Structure 1
């Protein structure tokens, strides 16, 4: 588990959520440069692990209740310069929808072959490897 320390800028935690042969992606109402479609994500709050933040942000943004399964990796995002954590999550309950319409304008369940259409600059390698394993195994 990754703890947020008080002397550093809060990182961003992203949830990688799969169902059947698709991964959940969200489109931000306000784009971050080239980042149109992303995984549900948001800032890690004080006293919260990256995994806990991924689950909380997913519920706030999409209405899905998820549980963290495992941290896939961390990096400084090459497009935003922010510290990012990526956590694989399992769905507990709910249907994905735009629950926070101040932040999001769309949600989509994206098939493995369509990921490059949504994220043309490519995914963080550990996330891509995880999706390659999980989505092609269920196809």
Structure 2
């Protein structure tokens, strides 16, 4: 039973006109591409969580630069009961080192052309394109 929203952070990393995305292994959004990310631990800022989740899920080291936007994700079942409720803080991160490899709760990780994300060619979670546009300054 869901009793309160959960806070999570997304690491948005842009390098050479490509964005780092991971394919989710677990629900919600299993099998869809999205930004590396996950829960914020007690006493941890969302910026710190974004950098930690980036490293845990992809092996990439990034430096959080600034908040980009927030996203509400509320998933309901057929009876209109809430199954998931997350507030996602999208954090722009500078790529410091490493090439992405899937780890933790992702099945794949890699750099993707911005155009494939914005055009819908890549099966992404909701709002990935919106966050990409914000990261690109649009």
After TM superposition, the score normalised by the length of structure 2 is 0.77
Provide structure 1 residue ranges, at least 5 long, that are not aligned to the other structure.
1-7, 135-139
User: How far 1:93 moved relative to its partner?
Assistant: 1.3
Give 5+ residue unaligned stretches, structure 2: 76-83
Q: CA RMSD in A?
A: 2.3
Q: Please report how far the alpha carbon of residue 123 of structure 1 lies from its aligned counterpart in structure 2 after TM superposition.
A: 3.3
Q: Alignment length, in residue pairs?
A: 124
Distance 1:65 1:9 in 2: 28
- CA pair 91-128 structure 1, distance change in 2 beyond 3 A: closer
TM-score by length of 1: 0.77
Alignment-derived partner of residue 90 in structure 2:
86
Q: Is the 8 A contact 2:10 2:36 kept in 1?
A: yes
Q: Secondary structure at the match of 1:85?
A: strand
Indicate the structure with greater helix content: 1
CA deviation after TM superposition for structure 1 residue 76, in Å? 1.3
- The equivalent of 2:46 in structure 1 is 50
